[in-house]
Amino acid sequence: MISDPRHIRISDYQYDLPDERIAKFPIAGRDHSKLLVYNKGEVGEDVFYHLPDYLPKGALMVFNNTKVIHARMHFRKADANGEPTGALIEVFLLEPAEPADYEQMFQTTGHCAWYCLVGNLKKWKEGPLMREIRIKNSVLRVSATRGPIHGTSHRIDFSWEVVSEESSLHSKISFAEILDVMGELPIPPYLNRETQDSDKTTYQTVYSKIKGSVAAPTAGLHFTPEVLADLDAHGIEREELTLHVGAGTFKPVKSEEMEGHEMHTEYISVRRQTIAKLLNHDCQAIAVGTTSVRTLESLYYMGLKLMANPDLTEDQLHVSQWEPYETSHTVAPVTALETLASWMDARGLEVLHSSTQIIICPGYDYKIVRMLVTNFHQPQSTLLLLVSAFVGGDWHKIYDYALAHDFRFLSYGDSSLLIP
């Protein structure tokens, strides 16, 4: 047990990952990827489509149904005549500013604002950025105006109007449609290549539904309709929740000790029926991916907050980075989630909308997740810390085996099933 996880040294989670082991593209059949099976200290391998054979009948398996948006937008500086002829500027969407709700954001027409990262910022001193695009047989001019700094990002205000002679269809054109036309899918930077048309399909899970992520929950990329049907046939109950994956998932740990690393806030949506299913399974679940882990484990701490103060709002249920480590938690997960469920019922909430910054690293006591399906993660990453915490520090055995047996790594790589 780590006495204080803030003092974990990230250099202890280094391994040599040759570039040729990073999968630049997925294999042709999603479910034909390799599957490493770690079962109580023993390591073996199979193919992914045999995953259901390793799961206990009647178990609950939880998926993150977020959908990756075309978050990378390119503009040019407008000249004195308002024409887009200047420097090329990249705007990378991070999270909605106005409206702040994801669903409302993608339906908005005419104007919206996001918090964004800006590439080539030094070339954008002042004035708007411009780009013309064609949608529904009309030409639109989309402009971006820089606002105040927001942490490590900027507020960017977007507006769009029709500039062709056709009718004013812009009132019916949503920001979601604009992104679909002018945005690019933001594949991970470590792939070291441009986004291709094939990524629009392969970098989404087959069950993705709710737009909002700037990175895919990649553990889910191996699932096919056939594997999902096989899970059903094996008596595995499936449930979905939503965590919108932020750019922070690629943020390297630069501090020597973890206390110097700040986790980005991630926004979650969990249905009341999902909590009911967790309670029906004694709050034990198989998580598909680290995003599902962070959401499920955060629910426990939200329940604890409500036990202390039942008058909190959804926003006040936010789980801070080090919250799980600040006191010992002996409350049973069922009790915590029953409290959360009762609180939702009292407010007539069918869906819980809140946020989390939880960091899961060695020293963490898992409350809900009992098995984990996940890919192989970058050296010195918070995701590797999460895996180490799950397998009791035994991550070297898993990664040494994967490196020695031709497993493919990172987002488009192979998969693992971890049973501690």
Residues in the chain: 420
316-344 tens-digit pLDDT: 999 999 999 998 889 999 999 999 999 99
- Looking at 161, 184, 207, the residue that finishes a domain is 184
**162 lies in the same domain as 219:** no
30-60 tens-digit pLDDT: 999 999 999 999 999 999 999 999 999 999 9
Q: Which domain holds residue 211?
A: 5-68+198-419
How far apart are alpha carbons 196 and 202 in whole angstroms?
Answer: 10
**53 lies in the same domain as 113:** no
Residue of 196, 161, 156, 154 lying closest to 178 (CA atoms): 161
**299 lies in the same domain as 405:** yes
> Would you say residue 323 lies in a domain?
yes
DSSP state, residue 214? S
> Would you say residue 189 lies in a domain?
no
**58 lies in the same domain as 205:** yes
CB-based contact 180:190 (threshold 8 Å): no
Query: How high does pLDDT run on average in the chain?
Result: 94
308 phi and psi, to 5 degrees? -80, -35
> Would you say residue 357 lies in a domain?
yes
Mean pLDDT of 143-171: 83
- The predicted pLDDT at position 164 comes to 79
**329 lies in the same domain as 415:** yes
Residue of 64, 74, 40 lying closest to 54 (CA atoms): 40
> Would you say residue 391 lies in a domain?
yes
Q: Is the confidence at residue 100, as pLDDT, over 50?
A: yes
> Would you say residue 193 lies in a domain?
no
**139 lies in the same domain as 270:** no
- Looking at 149, 184, 219, the residue that finishes a domain is 184
What predicted TM-score, i.e. pTM, was given to this entire model?
0.93
**23 lies in the same domain as 115:** no
> Which helix or strand (DSSP H or E) is residue 267 part of?
strand 266-271
**156 lies in the same domain as 302:** no
DSSP state, residue 90? E
277-293 tens-digit pLDDT: 999 999 999 999 999 99
**289 lies in the same domain as 403:** yes
DSSP state, residue 238? E
3-state percent breakdown (helix, strand, coil) of the chain, nearest 5: 35, 30, 35
**265 lies in the same domain as 313:** yes
- Looking at 184, 212, 230, the residue that finishes a domain is 184
- The predicted pLDDT at position 168 comes to 52
Residue of 391, 411, 401, 388 lying closest to 10 (CA atoms): 388
> Would you say residue 192 lies in a domain?
no
- How many domains does the chain contain in total? 2
**125 lies in the same domain as 206:** no
Q: How confident is the model at residue 1 (pLDDT cuts 50, 70, 90)?
A: very low
Q: How confident is the model at residue 165 (pLDDT cuts 50, 70, 90)?
A: low
> Would you say residue 219 lies in a domain?
yes
> Would you say residue 283 lies in a domain?
yes
How far apart are alpha carbons 273 and 279 in whole angstroms?
Answer: 10
**212 lies in the same domain as 145:** no
Residue of 267, 243, 242, 262 lying closest to 251 (CA atoms): 262
Strand 34-39 with 138-150, pairing: unpaired
Q: Dihedral, CA atoms, 254, 256, 260, 264, nearest 10 degrees?
A: 40
Residue of 52, 22, 54, 59 lying closest to 37 (CA atoms): 54
CATH number of the domain within which 46 lies? 3.40.1780.10
**What percent of the chain has pLDDT above 70?**
96
